[in-house]
Amino acid sequence: MIYVIDDDQAILRAFQRLLRSDNLPVKVFSSAEEFLEKVAVGEHDCLILDLRMPGMSGFDLLEELKRRRIRVPVIVVSAFDDSESLERSKELGAESFFRKPVDDQALLDSVRWAIGSK
């Protein structure tokens, strides 16, 4: 399962359509809190995560996954691609980092690589 977590509904719809067009199962969440409440991450799952969201940020979610020892590939997609965000994402275990808007094929390739590398 590919989980997309972003507070922007247009992004959620676009990523959902893109992933489904490549026959990938997808569930979307508009907050990190909602994701944590409803999901038990499986062995071949992957997260596509925005960093800046109201409430629990993407960084907060990455820290919580680490605290819970949940190992899942995470692809960060953010409108902000400053070096600090990139470095912190990598330190917290993100596999890939993309700046919005994302090239569709690059994102699909990254998802396929992430779920295939487990």
| 51-92 confidence digits (pLDDT tens) | 999 999 999 999 999 999 999 999 999 998 889 999 999 999
* β-bridge mates for residue 5, sequence order: 29, 49
- Averaged pLDDT, 24-39: 95
pLDDT for 10 beyond 90: yes
User: Both tokens of residue 117?
Assistant: 């590398």
- Point out which residues pair with 17 in neighbouring strands: none
Distance CA 118, CA 116 (A): 6
Separation between Cα atoms, residue 13 and residue 104, nearest integer Å: 13
pLDDT for res 117: 57
- Strand locations in 8-78, DSSP E? 26-29, 46-49, 74-78
pTM over 0.85: yes
The yes-or-no verdict on residue 118 having pLDDT over 50 is no
